[in-house]
Every structure is written in C-alpha cells, then in structure tokens.
A and B are shown apart, each in its own frame.
Chain A
C-alpha cells in the first residue's frame, strides 16, 4: 500500500533562517506531488505541484521554493523565513494515471516563525 512521510512534525524557526521540509512517498511510481499551506483558522492554499522529476509549478508568488530531485521526493525550501510563513504545511500525492484519483496527505509540519 502507498504511504507518505513528511517531516518534521513541528518546527520553530527564527525570522531570516532557512527552511527545508521533506516529503517522500512509498508504494507508487510517478505520482503527482503537492505542497499546501494552511494558515491558522484558514483554508488550504496550494503552493506548488509537480508532475515529474524536476518539474515544478508554482501557484502563488512567495518566499518559498520547491524541488523534486527524485520521483517520490518533494522538498519545500526557503532561504530566509518571514513571520508570514508560519502555518501548517501539508505534502500530498495523487496517482497520476487514474482519473478521479484523490489527494492523499502526509501528517503535516506545523511551522512557527518567531
């Protein structure tokens, strides 16, 4: 069966520090991968998605970047965190080859920028 791992679960970082969040998927090949952010009390905002290695689409201009160095690995990064980067970051995958396939989320990383 497919599983998705996301770490760390919680993170407290000072303003101006770098960020690296990692997500890996097991049990499937060629998934679509996604990064979402959920600010406190808000809905989910799509940040990036990827349909293949090295292919990244950005949905909103921001202080973050994403990379997909391997088929089942998705990394979210920032060179310098802002206070507004605080939130709940969620990685998700989708079976690319199946119509009507839903998203499956990792457990999320709760980031607090201080």
Chain B
C-alpha cells in the first residue's frame, strides 16, 4: 500500500462547480498535513495546511480525520485558474511524503 493515496483523476469540471479531492495516508504517526498545487512544469506551491478542526481559506476548505487517516480538499465556485494538479502531503519526523496528485481541469 502506498503511503499517501489520492483520487486518480483527472477531474474535468465547469467553471463555478464544487469539486472535492480525497486523500488517505497509511502512517498513523503522521504529524502534519498539507495541500499543495502544482502547475504544469512548475514547482509545487503550498495551498494550505490542514488542521484537525478543519480550516477554510476563501473558496478552499480542508478537513482531516485522524481516526480514518483521511484528508479532503473542497474547492467551491471553481475558477479557470484553479486548473492544476493538487498534491496531498503528509509529514512525520523530518519526512514529507507526497501523494501522486489529482489533476483538475476547470472548463469554461
């Protein structure tokens, strides 16, 4: 089993749609959690950290369920500029493990 797994994608959605990404991790000792976005041929950029109580940043909402070892990202009112690959990242100790990513295309 891979350490971090994500929806295989790709997701093709119209502008204005709500889209949800799921992620599961296998290491119960994981300490912190993040969502990154990566544009084509660019470096990953931090989208948001994920906190146990859930957190929101504008149109983006992240949730963490430690018992189920599950992380989610919800994007509301999607924009063309949201098109990217979304990476789920899990940290334990000094190690950051990246999921394979889920590609999102927002269509006009």
Binding site for B on A (CB under 8 A): 32, 34, 36, 42-44, 46, 49, 51, 57, 59, 88, 90, 92, 94, 99-100, 102-108, 110
Query: What 0/1 readout, one digit per residue, does chain B (82-107) give for beta carbons within 8 Å of chain A?
Result: 00000101010011111111000000
A104-B46 in contact given A44-B98, A49-B94 (Cβ < 8 Å): yes
Query: Which residue of chain B has its CB nearest to the CB of A44?
Result: B98
Roughly how many angstroms separate A107 CA and B39 CA in the complex, as a whole number?
Answer: 12
Cβ–Cβ contact B89 & A110, under 8 A: no
Classify chain B: how many residues form its interface, as a range: 20 to 34
Cβ–Cβ contact B94 & A105, under 8 A: no
Cβ–Cβ contact A46 & B49, under 8 A: no
Task: Name the residue in A51, A99, A103, A108 with the highest tally of chain B Cβ atoms < 10 Å from its Cβ.
Answer: A103
Point out the residues of chain A lying under 8 angstroms from B96, CB to CB.
Answer: 34, 46, 92, 94, 103
Q: How far is the CB of A87 from the nearest CB of chain B, in Å?
A: 12
Query: Which residue of chain B has its CB nearest to the CB of A6?
Result: B43
Q: A43-B87, A104-B46, A107-B43 are in contact. List 10 more A-B contacts (CB 8 A).
A: A34-B96, A43-B99, A90-B43, A100-B31, A102-B32, A102-B34, A102-B49, A105-B43, A105-B44, A108-B42
Query: Which residue of chain B has its CB nearest to the CB of A50?
Result: B94
The secondary-structure label for the interface of chain B is strand
Cβ–Cβ contact B34 & A51, under 8 A: no
Cβ–Cβ contact A57 & B94, under 8 A: yes
Point out the residues of chain B lying under 8 angstroms from A59, CB to CB.
Answer: 95
Point out the residues of chain B lying under 8 angstroms from A99, CB to CB.
Answer: 31-32
Query: Which residue of chain B has its CB nearest to the CB of A45?
Result: B98
What are 6 A-B pairs at a CB distance below 8 A? A51-B94, A57-B94, A88-B41, A99-B32, A100-B31, A103-B46
